[in-house]
Structure 1
Amino acid sequence: MRATKIDSMGRSLRTQRGIVAFEAIVWLPILLIVLFSIVEMGLMLVGVMHVSMASRIAAREVSITSGLASASSSVITDDLRETVDLYFENAGYGPSASLGLRLQHTVGAGGSFASGECEAESDPPLPEIMTGAPRAVRVVVCLPAEVVSPNCLAQFGFDLSNCRIHGVTTFPYLGESP
């Protein structure tokens, strides 16, 4: 007959191995969820920084555009979208990654113009056009969250398929003197 080894608490080593296997089965899904969430949130933070930078690039480009009041805003927004999509392509998100962008300005009569599916949100109003008030341009860039993150937590109930990342930048208009 074979002798069974007993530990200091009176359990056999076979029982200890069973407990370790059970604990691994219980804790492995929790550790996977934590690991996936760390990776996904890290990718989302990088994506938010890229969207913010894309909106800054576009707002800077519009703020130095001369003749914004008389220019066709649809041409300007289409050109801005090409610039933003080129930035996203260079960032590794692929061509035409953005959902679109929205341009708002207080130059001349002002207005709001969109290119793509970047819906109007509850943005704060731009500065009023008054004597001495700065003229401003605002660019809102929209990017789907699935482009940024692999959505690996969808199987655990945290689905990002309908989420969007928005970057908003407002600059003073420098294109021409008032």
Structure 2
Amino acid sequence: MSVAEPRRIVLLRHAKADWPQVADHERPLAERGRKDAPVAGRRLADSGFDFDLALCSTSTRTRETWKLAVHELPHRPKTVYEERIYDASPGELVAVLNETPEDARTVVLIGHNPGVHGLAEVLTGRADAGARDRMTRRGFPTSAFAVLTFDGPWKTLEPGAASLDDYWAPSE
């Protein structure tokens, strides 16, 4: 594959989490989250994305979100559970993406706010007007995802380098 082919990044926020008396990292999904995660997975499947790699935070709620969403996809990509995604800033998330193997064309990153929403905003240099309007209006609620594309190798991904092509959030 040529590095000149566009790369796709799907930024997926974890589904709705519960608030039991546990450490934040260990919070499980709430009932609504267990319902919304497969819906997000079906929406991703309907989009026709063939993910080469999933980068998932190590938190309980992100791992549970991905487990429920990935069952809706026609192909299960290689999944890497990455500690650096938990509580990461947009800059830290860019650094993780910069390390993506060059043979990966389409990557899904399953993470947390405010990092995921901030990353979508930081990477976006160009945008589909409808996608930008929906993301601005809705913010980045649980189970939402943004689809971005950029040209070049992963190590060149930087602020403003991507196009926001789509945005989806579940109905409240």
Question: Fold match, TM over 0.5?
Answer: no
Flag the structure with more relative contact order, 1 or 2, with Cα contacts below 8 A and sequence separation at least 6.
Answer: 2
Which structure: greater strand fraction? 2
Which structure: greater helix fraction? 1
Structure whose CA Rg is larger:
1
